[in-house]
Amino acid sequence: MGIFGFIKILLRGAAQVMFQCNAWCGLLFIVGIFWGAYSSGMPEVGWGALLGVMVSTATGFILNLQQEEGFEGLWGFNGILVGCAFPTFLGNTVWMWFALALCAAFTTWVRTGLNNLMRGWGINSFTFPFVLCVWFFLLASHTMHSIPPLNTSSHVLSTLHGVHFHLGLDGAWEVVKVWLRGLSQVFLIDSWVTGLLFFLGLCASSRWAALWAVIGSALSMGVALVMGAPVEHINEGLYSFSAVLTAIALATTFYQPSWRSAAWAALGIMVTVVVQAAMNVWVQPFGVATLTAPFCITTWLFLLPMFRFDDRHPDHTAWHHRS
């Protein structure tokens, strides 16, 4: 494997956050991350993403884990999320970067261990290694002064002002931007341009995944509005990013697209919004963000019954979308 082969693996690692194994998809994800990071005045988020995916992927090779998973990018997707999270929530110090690398490596063997544990239940760990490992470090930051917390009670790189849902062309455009932010927030980026790049990346890999990503964002936004969730959080896409992942998982990854899996995914999206709200309340006293935990919990609960909606038995233990 040469340098270009390793780069392809890294790009697949980025794409695997949304269940895709496609280097072009991953490239557009990386471009979207850097666009959002630099436009928000936090370029370290983009470089953190690169460091995270490289460290977590290299750790898999060093530990001599299953090669097929490594080539498909499955060692990298938790690491890239770690790389986005640390500069967002922690002060930009030398020790923050050291902790980022340590946490990214940690996710690789935590993922292997959790998958071994969960295999008997017919599910896998999804992005929970990222969630669990980052929670440890964010909580530790309150007493470890070399990695000072910045804004661990929120999930965004910037704050939006004055966005309201109303009729008219301007209002419709604002709704579209909120809709796209639901995609960008999967990587903790608050940018509708990033969300558009993520959508194009998904289109390059799977039209079904792209379709269900925007359905997940739109439906979760509507449910959050109807249920009276804080409008400022809806505007920022904070009730949509986990629902986007739930939608892709249930509608296109673990079940063949059909009207039955579509109905199941729609129900999962709505439940994810409720789980998101509940977890926001639960983690607030600890000063950490929910990250993608609502997606993990909801998708586990929807896969554990092991219902069959088509002739293919759902493969709950892995996802393999080859480029």
pLDDT at 232 over 70: yes
pLDDT digits (tens, 9 = 90+) for 258-288: 999 999 999 999 999 999 999 999 999 998 9
pLDDT at 69 over 80: yes
230/225 Cα distance (integer angstroms): 8
Q: Tell me the mean pLDDT in the region 115-128.
A: 94
Complete DSSP assignment for 132-156: HHHHHHHHHTTT-TTS-BS-TT---
Q: What type of residue is 70?
A: G
204/315 Cα distance (integer angstroms): 23
Helices (H), the chain: 3-15, 23-39, 43-62, 67-71, 77-89, 94-118, 128-140, 169-184, 192-205, 207-226, 231-235, 241-248, 259-283, 293-303
User: Locate tokens 């586990």: which residue?
Assistant: 300
Backbone φ and ψ for 163, nearest 5 degrees, come out as -95, 125
Strand-pair partners of 149: 90
- On whether the pTM is more than 0.85, the answer is yes
165/163 Cα distance (integer angstroms): 7
Handedness of CA 98, 103, 108, 109 (dihedral sign): positive
End-to-end CA distance of the chain: 17
pLDDT on residue 33: 98
pLDDT on residue 234: 93
Report whether 160 contacts 236 (CB < 8 A).
yes
pLDDT at 119 over 60: yes
